[in-house]
Structure 1
Amino acid sequence: PPAVDDALVGEALRDGEAVQEGGVGGWRAPEALVIAQRVGEGAGATVFAATVDLGETLARVERLRLISVAFTALALFIALFAGREFLRRRLLTPIERLGDATARVAAGDYALRVDTHRADEMGALERSFNRMAEALGAGRARTDAHIAELESLNARLRASQREVVQAEKLATVGQLAAGVAHEIGNPLGAIRGNAELLEAGDLSGDEARRVLANLNRATERIDRIVRALLDFARPAKASREWLSPGDVVARAVELVRFQRSHHDVRFEVAGRPGCPRIHTDPNLMEQILVNLLLNAAQALDAGGVVTIRAEAAPGATGEPALVHLTVTDTGPGVPEGLRETIFDPFFTTKGPGRGTGLGLAVSRRIARDLGGELALVPGRGPGATFRLTMPIEEPRP
């Protein structure tokens, strides 16, 4: 134990008591205390000193401190673990479940619903998710219904367009029929005359063979004329094939030139030889050209020339090359004020019974469906020039 020094005694005599710490080492607590107490006053005062050993007490305090720290750390660990489990159960797991459900709804599972029995904010969020999924499902159902309705309307529209195209074709057939009947009359007359010669029985073998050859040529002529008209009038399924523009031009001119009303009209086919082949529908192409040729011929009341020309032309950068099919007449042309309206449905400047007013509108619609374009272009002289432009390569989707 620490010794009682004079300073402690003097302090006790002066103040009545004094305390001295013993065994102090750095920051550690003292290991003992010396307590001095004065008894009496004046010259007869006596100082009593007692030493208190703090070692065991401090050891007990240190043990208690360590136990307290251990329990505090354990309690903190338990609290952290419990908090983590609480967050996982009450927050993280529901959020993960909502995330998975959101991904499934985004993939199209609009019937999915999450179970919710909670009354807190997470429960409100889950109920909001269910309402959102229900609204999305209802919206998707309405969208599907609208799409189905639009597809049905588009199918009906395409059917109506096909009917309009066919109606215009039949109207054109009506215009061609009179010319075809007149054209058939000549070979029919030849057949009748040659048949009468055979019936008389006055022909030699060689003469009879020549008469039969004449009959065959006349019937072939009639067959070719009737077949051309029937092929033109027959509804054809849309089918693309590689074809020569010159072949389509020849068939169209063959049909139109039969017209009796066109006896003063001369049809000329021009253009450079070897025009590239195009990938398109031959029947629809022929319908466009027949409409253009009929319009051009009908514009020449006093006679004139209709020129049809097929030429290749380069396309724009990155686009396929083109074929231009132009039909030019020497008639009065199209007035400036009508250039923007001649392609409108039912617009016509012809007299009654000479057209439906659908020819140019239907022809432009067909041209665009085939990936091309039909336009009225400025000509080099009098008359009107219509240009049908078609890509040489198959149009890109």
Structure 2
Amino acid sequence: MRVWNLKAQTILAFFLVLGIGMLLLNAVSMQLWKRQALSADLDHGRSLLAAMARNLPAVGGAERFSTEVEQIVQSDAAVVCVAAANAQGKIINISGGCEHFTKALEGALANAVHSGAANSRLLSPPPGNDSNLQNNVLLVAQPFRSPDGSRGGVAMVRSTEPIDGQLWENEKIILVYILANAVVLAVVGFFRMVKLVVRPLERLAEQADTYSLRHDFLPFSGRVGNEFGRLSSSLNRMIAQLEEDRGALMQKVDSLRLANEELDRNRREMVRAEKMASIGRLAAGLAHEIGNPLGVVQGYLDLLGQGEVTSDERKEFARRAEQEVTRVGRLIRQLLDYARPVEGAPAPLRVRELLADCLELFRQGKVDGHIEFSFISEADEDLVLADGDGLRQIFVNCLMNAVDAIGPLPKGRILARCFNEQEGDRRYVRVVIEDNGPGIAQEHLESVFEPFFTTKEPGSGTGLGLAVSCSLVEKWGGRMWAESGRGEEGRGAAIWISLPLAPSASGGDSPSDNGMAA
């Protein structure tokens, strides 16, 4: 169907182009023919006026003038009226039918008498329906000198209707020939165009849709040297180059895919290594903290074994021992939650609850007994899309760095704040973890998130904690940066974490713990 539409459009275009061209040629030709016909009619009118002038008497003779006019009208039906003027250019005789052309005749006769030269021009038909003239008329005027020596001028108004009628008859014959020629030439041109252009292009399109490099892409057998043959050869070379480039691109894509997989594996190993280091340090602190509750439980068990203990005392000892065991279980459960593998799928979670849980882990673990942990929550909305294990690792890494920075100080303070912030058309929840340590040097602020960068003593850190944390935050659509209050009394480094709120986030489900401190 598409091919037939193309062919129909082709033959229609040929027909229209040929028809328009022939009509333009015909219009130009008709104008030339009309000009030639008017020139011949003008010469004929001048001949009639010259014959009439030779027979006009020098003086008077209205009857003689009328006789001459009648003879002219009888000899030529195109004559509308005739007029004559004296040597001063004033009309002395005028025939009937010239009522509408009197002014034009006066001007033409006066010009002919005074200049001694003939003149002519086309006049519009008279207005109204009182005249049979529908087309333009030709006014011819020329001077004369009679045999007796008198001078004057004669003029004639001629109708162009006979010329227009003859031209229209010829025009109808020409239009028939134009139509026939346009049809014949369009059909012939169509078949030639189909043979030379349409069919080769169809074969080109068909082979381009299902090209194969096993065969030459040359649909113009026997016409290799023409334009379409050269086009086919160019397409062959282009397709071969495209196939070669496609193969090279596929190799690059495969190599990039393997490289991305390797980078992903390395990143997971980095996260795992950093987490294991943090777990070791947390476990060392928890081991000492768990020993105290176990000692208390052992003491209560010894008291329960004594016979002089009353029933109420037994219940109280059992209750306290149960509290200590519950405390140990909670510490172990928190450590196991943190030790779970990262890379879970992002899911809605509450930032405040997770941050408070991590702070509780450090408080209970007594990582360093001289450090005070505080938490202030000012966030009305804290629901984000993130991986809970990954976000817990980020918080633990930041808290661990703060603990290491405070290490030598006699009294350390770590403050975690959570609040909302508007950026453009989105709302964010921001977490900042501050310490009162020595801070970060200004030249290191941009480097602390680079892999393997650390200011700790050799063997004290891997330099991967903040790099892994920043990578995870950016993966969830947030950002992470560091600030330093070095030189400001009572304030050290601050690590900022900004995460976009989940689309379904509304007012916080749980009340804000404004001002909550350890």
Work out the CA distance in 2 between the residues paired with 1:76 and 1:341: 82
For 2:460 and 2:363, the matched residues in 1 are separated by 17
Give the 5 Å matches for 1:169-208: 169-208=275-314
| 334-343 vs 302-311, which moves further | 334-343
Contact 1:275 1:312 in 2 (8 A): yes
State whether structure 2 residue 398 is matched by structure 1 residue 292.
yes
Kindly state the Cα deviation for residue 280 of structure 1 after the two structures are TM-superposed.
1.9
Cα distance in 2 for partners of 1:394, 1:180 equals 38
1:147 to 245, 250, 253: 253
Q: In structure 1, what is the equivalent of residue 497 of structure 2?
A: 388
Partner of 1:6: none
Q: Secondary structure at the match of 1:314?
A: strand
Please say if residues 442 and 484 of structure 2, whose CA atoms lie closer than 8 Å, have aligned partners that are also in contact: no
Distance 1:207 1:134, change over 3 A: same
User: How far did residue 283 of structure 1 move?
Assistant: 1.4
**Counterpart amino acid of 2:502?**
E
Structure 1 partner of 2:243: 137
Partner of 1:16: none
Tell me if structure 1 keeps the 8 A contact 2:379–2:429: no
CA distance in 2, matches of 1:356, 1:158: 19
- Counterparts of 1:110 and 1:157 in 2: how far apart (Å)? 38
Q: Distance in 2 between matches of 1:179 and 1:340?
A: 31
Which amino acid letter does the alignment assign opposite residue 307 of structure 1? L
Paired position in structure 2 for 1:120: 225
Instruction: Write out per-residue CA displacement over residues 278-325 of structure 1, whole angstroms, 9 at most, x where no aligned residue.
Output: 222221111111111111121112132110000111122x3x101110
Shift of 1:174: 1.3
Deviates more, 1:221-230 or 1:76-85: 76-85
CA distance in 2, matches of 1:275, 1:87: 73
Aligned residues: 317
CA distance in 1, matches of 2:263, 2:212: 32
Cross-structure match for 1:29: none
* Letter aligned with residue 440 of structure 2: V
TM-superposition CA deviations, 1:130-167 (whole Å, max 9, x none): 33223322322332232232222212211221111111
Could you tell me how far apart the structure 1 residues matched to 2:257 and 2:243 are? 21
Aligned AA for 2:323?
R
Q: How much does 1:83 deviate? A: 6.0
CA contact (8 A) 1:321 1:393 kept: no
For 1:249 and 1:273, how far apart are their aligned partners in 2? 12
Alpha carbons of structure 1 residues 95 and 186: separation in structure 2 relative to 1, 3 Å: same
1:315 is aligned to 2:423: yes
1:159 to 265, 271, 274: 265
User: Aligned ranges for residues 353-372 of structure 1 at < 5 Å?
Assistant: 353-372=459-478
Separation (CA, whole Å) in 2 of partners of 1:214 and 1:181: 20
What is the Cα deviation at residue 239 of structure 1?
2.3
Are residues 363 and 152 of structure 1, via their aligned partners in 2, closer, same or farther at CA, if it must alter by over 3 Å?
A: same
Deviations 1:156-185 (A, max 9, x none): 211221111111111111111111101111
CA distance in 1, matches of 2:218, 2:371: 84
Question: Helix, strand or coil: the match of 2:361?
Answer: helix
Change (3 A) 1:344 1:237: closer
Instruction: Identify the match of residue 451 of structure 2 among 341, 345, 357.
Output: 345
Tell me: CA distance 1:148–1:202, structure 2 relative to 1, closer, same or farther (3 Å): farther
Partner of 2:414: 306
Q: Is the 8 Å Cα contact of residues 246 and 275 (structure 1) preserved in structure 2?
A: no
CA distance in 2, matches of 1:211, 1:170: 38
Letter of the aligned partner of 2:457 in structure 1? G
- 1:199–1:76: structure 2 CA closer, same or farther, 3 Å change rule? closer
Q: Secondary structure at the match of 1:305?
A: strand
Q: CA deviation at 1:95?
A: 1.9
| Cα separation, partners in 2 of 1:182 and 1:384, compared to 1, 3 Å | same
Q: Distance in 1 between matches of 2:354 and 2:333?
A: 15
Q: Which runs of 5+ in 2 are unaligned?
A: 1-179, 505-518
Alignment of 1:1-397 (within 5 A): 84-102=190-208, 104=209, 114=217, 116=219, 117-118=221-222, 119-121=224-226, 122-272=228-378, 274-300=380-406, 301-302=408-409, 303-316=411-424, 318=425, 320-377=426-483, 379=485, 382-393=491-502
Cα displacement (A) at 1:267? 0.6
Q: Is the 8 A contact 1:306 1:328 kept in 2?
A: yes
CA–CA distance in structure 1, aligned partners of residues 184 and 431 of structure 2? 89
| Partner-residue secondary structure (3-state), 1:387 | strand
SS of residue matched to 1:299: helix
CA distance in 1, matches of 2:331, 2:356: 13
The whole-number CA distance in structure 1 between the counterparts of 2:371 and 2:393 is 20
Stretch of structure 1 that moved more, 171-180 or 234-243: 234-243
Return the letter of the residue paired with 2:500. Answer: P
Contact 1:110 1:136 survives alignment (8 Å): no
More off after superposition, 120-129 vs 157-166: 120-129
Contact 1:182 1:258 in 2 (8 A): no
Secondary structure of residue in 1 paired with 2:423:
coil
SS of the counterpart of 1:231? helix
Specify the code of the residue in structure 1 equivalent to 2:423: G
- TM normalised by structure 1 equals 0.72
2:190 & 2:413 partners in 1: Cα distance?
Answer: 95
Which deviates more, 303-312 or 347-356?
347-356
Q: Deviations over 1:39-70 (max 9, x none)?
A: xxxxxxxxxxxxxxxxxxxxxxxxxxxxxxxx
Give the match's secondary structure for 2:305: helix
Conserved in 2, the CA contact under 8 Å of 1:268 and 1:308?
yes
- Structure-2-length-normalised TM-score: 0.56
